[in-house]
Chain A
Amino acid sequence: MSAVRTLVVWCPDWPVVAAGLASVPAAVLASGRVVACSAAARAEGVARGLRRRQAESRCRGLVVVEHDPAGDARAFEPVVVAVEAFTPEVEIVRPGVCAVATRGPSRYFGGDEALVAVVAAAVDGVLPEGAPACRVGVADGPFAAERAARGGVVVPAGGSAGFLAGFPVSTLGDVDLADLLVRLGIRTLGQLAELPAPAVLARFGPAGEAAHRLARGLDERPLVARTAPLELTVVAELDPPAERLETAAFVAKGLADRLHDGLTVQGLTATRVLVEAEWEHGERMGRRWRLDGNGGRGAAALAERVRWQLDGWMTSASVGDQPSGGLTLLRLVPEEVRPDDGRQLGFWGGDRAAAERVARVLARVQGMLGPEAVVTAVPAGGRSPAEQVRLVPWGERPPPGVDAEPPWPGRIPPPLPATVHPVPVPAEVTDAQVSIAGGRWSAVTAWAGPWPVDERWWDAAAHRRRARWQVMTAAGTAHLMSQEGDHWEVEATYD
C-alpha cells in the first residue's frame, strides 16, 4: 500500500514569525537553547542548538524570547483557515506545518503544481508582515511531503523513495537510531531503503521497521482504519458552558486521557485526531491534528494540542469568527489509528501507561526541586565502582560517554559495593589497624590488593597514581579503600 499523496505547507522559522519578530534579528529559546531564529539572525551566524550566550555573542542586538508553543498554535490559525479554503481536511502537523491530502483538490485545480501555486499564494496572503514566504511541496506520505515542502518541490507519484534517497538518516528525527545506522555505514535514506525489510526489523526492532518504511516512501506504519470505530470517540458535555480557557483545557486533559486509555486497551495509537467543539450559540468548529513520532503520541501530547486548539479558538483576536459564547461540547475523534508497537517507550521494556505516570510524577518533582534533583544512572566505563555509572538528569539524553566495553586494567572485580560514598571518607591506616573518619581503631583481619591506578599519566596536571585495596575490619565490614602515598580514603563499603 503506497502512502497517501500529501501536500505540506511549511512556514519557515514559525516560532519567530509567531512572536512577531521575523523582520529583526531574533531567536526563540527553549530550555536555554535556540530552537528557531530569524533570517537576519541566521545571516550573523545564529543557528539552532546554540546556547543563549553563544547566540548573543554572534549577533549584536539579538532579540531573544522564550518559546511559546501555545502562541505558535494561535498564530497559525489564520494559515489553517486559508488552506481550508481548498479542502476541509487540513491536518496540523505542528504549528508552522500543515498537511492536506491532494487527491480531490489537485483534480479540481488541474494538477499538483497548480494546487501548490494557489495554496502558496493564499498562505502568503495571510502571513504577517516580514515573514519569510511559505514553502509548499507534494509527495507520497506526510514524511516525504514535508521534505518536499522544505525544498519547495513536487515529487511525482511513486517517486518519493528516489527523492528521499539522498537525505541523511538523521532526517528521520530518531537520534539514537540515526547514530547507530551511521556507525554501521548507513548514511542515507537510500542506503537504508535498499536493505531487506525482514533484516531491518530483526536488527533494529519496530523503530527500525518504521524508519525503513519511511525511507521507502511508505507510511510509517500501515493504517488499521481510516475511520476508527465509533466507540473510541470520546465526548464531554460542559454544563455550565466553559467561558475560560483554563476550564476548557482541564476538560480537554481528562478527555485526552480517556481517549488514550481506550486506544491503549485495544493496543492502538491514534496518528490523527479530529478536535471538535460546539459553542453556546450553536457554532461548531473542528480541526485535525497529526500526532507524529517526534511530537509524541501520548495522552499528554494530545492534551497539549487540544489545549492549543482551544486557545486558538477562544483567545485569538485575529480570527473573525471567534465563538460568541462558552464551550458546551468537546469531542475527540481518532481518525487514523495504527497498531501501537510501543515505539516511544519500547526500550524501557515496560508498559507504557506506567512509564507515562512515572514521567508525569518525575516532572512534578523536578518542578519542585530543579531538574538536576532527579537523575538516572547510565552504565559507563571506569575502574572504580563510582566511575562505572554516570548520573544523568531525568529526561536528558545521556552524553556520548566512555564505553563500558574496553578493558579497564585495575578495574575492581565484582561483587561491587552497595554503598559508594559520594565524597570519599578520610581514614588512617597503621600496621594492622584502621580508623575511619577519626573513629575507633579497628583491627584489619583480611585484605587484598593493590589494584593499581595510573590514571592519565600523559597529563601532568590530572595524573594520579593510586592503589585500591579491599580491607576487612574486625567488625566484619569490608571496605574499598584507596591509597595515594600515605593518604587513605574509604571509597565504598560492601554492606
Chain B
Amino acid sequence: MAGERLLPVLGPLEPLFPTQGLKRGSVVSVSGSTSLALSLLAAASAQGSWCAAVGMPALGLAAAAELGVALERFPLVPTPARATGADGWAWVVAAMADACDVVLARPPRRLAGADARRLTARVRERGSVLVVAGQWPEAAEVQLAVVSAAWEGLGQGHGRLLGRRVEVLAGGRGAAARERRVALWLPHPEGGVRSVEVVGERRTHARRVVS
C-alpha cells in the first residue's frame, strides 16, 4: 500500500476530495464533527493501514469501531503534552506520521505557525495524511466543515437517535479551492455513512418516529 499515492475513503465521502481519496502527504482539516473526522479513517483502516489519534482524550472509540476503524491498528496518545510541554504535541504527531498512514490529531489551542509548517513538511515528506480535528494555523490542503446537521428519530420523549443528515462544505487550496457542498447521512439509520440523493432539500426539524 505504501507505493500508492491515494488512501481510500468511504464511497460517499469521495466527492469531498478533488482526488476522490486522501492524498498522501497532505493535511486535511475537519471542523464541526468528530464523527466525520473518524469516518475519514475508516476505509484506509479497513484496508490494513495503521491510523493514530493524538491529543484527543474524548474520542469515542466505540463509535470509531462502529464507523469501521480497526481498533487494533489504532494506537492513541490522548495527552501528548503532559510530559514534554507545548511542543510535545508536535513531536508526537511527527513521530506518529513516520509510522502510520493517517494521523488524526486535535491541535493545542496555541499551536505556533512555525510548528504547523514544520509538521506539514514532515507529513509531505513521509507520505502520510494528517487529519486535523479543529483549526489549523495555516491553510490545509483540504478543509471540511459541517455546516448543518439534523438528527432523525428522536421525538418528544420517545424514539431514539437513528440517523443524522449533515451538509459538509469542502474547500481548500489548489485543486480543492472550488467549494463543494455534499449532503451525507452520518450515520445512516441503518448504520454507516451514505450520501443523500437529493442535495437541495434540507430539513430543519427532526422527523418523529411513530413506533
Contacts and interface: CB of A to CB of B under 8 A. Distances in A.
Contacts of B161: 415, 448, 470, 472, 478, 494
Contacts of B150: 476
B203 to A, nearest CB: 11
What DSSP secondary structure best describes chain B's contact surface? mixed
B99 A348 contact: no
Interface string A436-463: 0000000001111000000000000000
Contacts of A376: 71-72, 74-76
Interface string B152-178: 001111111111100000000000000
A159 interface: no
Nearest to A420: B60
A471 B63 CA distance: 18
A481 to B, nearest CB: 13
A185 B156 CA distance: 52
B169 to A, nearest CB: 16
A319 interface: no
A446 B154 contact: yes
A420 B38 CA distance: 13
B70 interface: yes
Contacts of B96: 361, 365
Given A362-B99, A418-B34, A446 B77 contact: no
A495 B73 CA distance: 23
B95 A419 contact: no
Given A369-B82, A379-B71, A446-B154, A415 B187 contact: yes
Contact of B83 (A368, A415, A422): A368
A125 to B, nearest CB: 49
Given A349-B70, A354-B50, A418-B59, A379 B34 contact: no
B48 interface: yes
A385 to B, nearest CB: 5
B33 A495 contact: yes
A365 B98 CA distance: 12
B17 interface: no
A315 to B, nearest CB: 32
A422 B78 CA distance: 10
Contacts of A349: 48, 70, 72-73
A421 B59 CA distance: 8
A414 B75 CA distance: 23
Contacts of A416: 60, 62-63, 66
Interface size bucket, A side? 35 or more
Interface in A361-389: 361-362, 364-365, 368-370, 373-379, 385, 388-389
Given A360-B99, A364-B95, A420 B157 contact: no
A236 interface: no
Contacts of B151: 446, 472, 476, 478, 494
B92 A358 contact: no
Contact of A415 (B63, B70, B100, B156): B63
B88 interface: yes
A421 B92 CA distance: 22
B24 to A, nearest CB: 14
Contact of B71 (A389, A417, A420): A389
A221 to B, nearest CB: 24
Contacts of A422: 57-58, 78
A398 to B, nearest CB: 10
Contact of A362 (B75, B156, B158, B159): B75
A350 interface: yes
Nearest to B71: A377
Contacts of B160: 413, 448, 470
Contacts of A347: 72
A53 interface: no
Contacts of B59: 418-420
Contacts of B206: 445-446, 472
Given A391-B76, A415-B191, A494-B151, A373 B83 contact: yes
B149 interface: yes
A394 interface: yes
A368 B48 CA distance: 27
Contact of B58 (A365, A377, A389, A419): A419
B164 A374 contact: no
Query: Which of B1, B71, B161, B162 is the most central at the interface, judged by chain A CB atoms within 10 Å of its CB?
Result: B161
Contact of B78 (A354, A375, A389): A375
A492 interface: yes
Nearest to B76: A375
A351 interface: yes
A495 B156 CA distance: 20
A273 B171 CA distance: 55
Given A377-B71, A389-B71, A414-B191, A355 B62 contact: no
Interface of A: 347-351, 354-355, 357-358, 360-362, 364-365, 368-370, 373-379, 385, 388-389, 391, 394, 413-422, 445-448, 470, 472, 476, 478, 492, 494-495
Nearest 6 A-B pairs (CB), nearest first?
Answer: A361-B99, A418-B35, A418-B34, A377-B61, A350-B48, A388-B62
Given A377-B65, A470-B154, 16 more contacts: A350-B73, A351-B48, A369-B82, A374-B75, A375-B76, A389-B71, A419-B34, A420-B59, A420-B63, A421-B58, A446-B159, A448-B157, A448-B161, A472-B154, A495-B34, A495-B35
22 contacts: A348-B72, A348-B73, A350-B50, A354-B48, A354-B49, A354-B50, A362-B99, A365-B77, A369-B84, A375-B75, A377-B76, A378-B71, A388-B62, A415-B63, A418-B34, A446-B151, A446-B159, A447-B157, A470-B161, A472-B161, A476-B150, A494-B161
